[in-house]
Amino acid sequence: METALNQGENDAWAALAAQGVSNAIRGLSQMVSREIVTASIQVKHIMVKDAAEALGGADASTVAVYLSVDGDASGHLLFAYSPKTAFELLALLMEGTSEDIAVLGEMEQSALGEIGNIMGSFFINVLADNAGLSLKVSPPVVMMDMAGSVMDPLLADLMLWTDEALMVEAAFGTRDRQIGGTFLVLPSPDLQRALLEQRAMA
């Protein structure tokens, strides 16, 4: 188990995660060719074992886009939404309304995957630039299930690394339509250490 970070390291890592999410939303703006503004970003440290509860409870219906981080270091990214919010995100992409989307079919899942791919790439670019590492994200995997079922496959691996994870809650959208998303940021010890060493040298 990796040694817990001190307060200063936690604060530095949280600031980087917030910067990464802000950049991810900027990537979404470029994808839809419309201005997407960030209304708020809140970063919380959570226990890995409580990750499903942080998504609304183990039985809460969740739409999640998962990407692994590979390259000079590794980690996990998970973008999670309630089904209603996922519909709103798709409506934002398609310039329609959430009422126009009845189900998350193959086309809708593909669109969510592409959103996750763009946002994940823009997020990881911030970490790569700060750590001086070559990093890339895997193809996205879109999951629709209860939060517990979404998180369970990740927990065993994550708890070998650390007891804690970062959860970033962001509200974003156009000037007249705001939605919210939850971002779970789960770096390996190697990635976290490289990021903090670079911050300390800056």
In a domain, 2, yes or no: no
**Side chain identity at 49, as an amino acid letter?**
K
Q: How confident is the model at residue 199 (pLDDT cuts 50, 70, 90)?
A: low
In a domain, 65, yes or no: yes
Per-residue pLDDT tens over the stretch 133-164: 899 999 999 999 999 898 887 776 777 777 77
Q: Is 103 exposed, middle or buried (0-12, 13-18, 19+ CB in 10 A)?
A: exposed
Q: pTM for the whole thing?
A: 0.86
Main-chain phi, psi angles of 4, to 5 degrees: -65, 150
In a domain, 123, yes or no: yes
Q: Which long-range contacts (CB under 8 A, 24 or more apart) does 80-84 make?
A: 80/55, 80/147, 80/150, 80/181, 80/182, 80/183, 80/184, 81/180, 81/181, 81/182, 82/56, 83/144
- List Cβ neighbours of 120 (8 Å cut-off, separation of 6 or more): 24, 65, 67, 77, 79, 137, 140
In a domain, 87, yes or no: yes
How many independent structural domains does the chain possess?
Answer: 1
In a domain, 190, yes or no: yes
Q: What is the mean pLDDT of the chain?
A: 84
SS (H, E, C) 91-137: HHHHCCCHHHCCCCCHHHHHHHHHHHHHHHHHHHHHHHHHHCCCEEE
Q: 6-10, 19-23, 93-97 — which one is most confidently predicted on average?
A: 19-23
CB 131 within 8 A of CB 191: yes
Per-residue pLDDT tens over the stretch 179-195: 888 998 887 777 777 77
In a domain, 168, yes or no: yes
For residue 113, what is the domain's CATH number? 3.40.1550.10
Count, residues in the chain = 202
Residue 67, domain extent: 7-201
In a domain, 1, yes or no: no
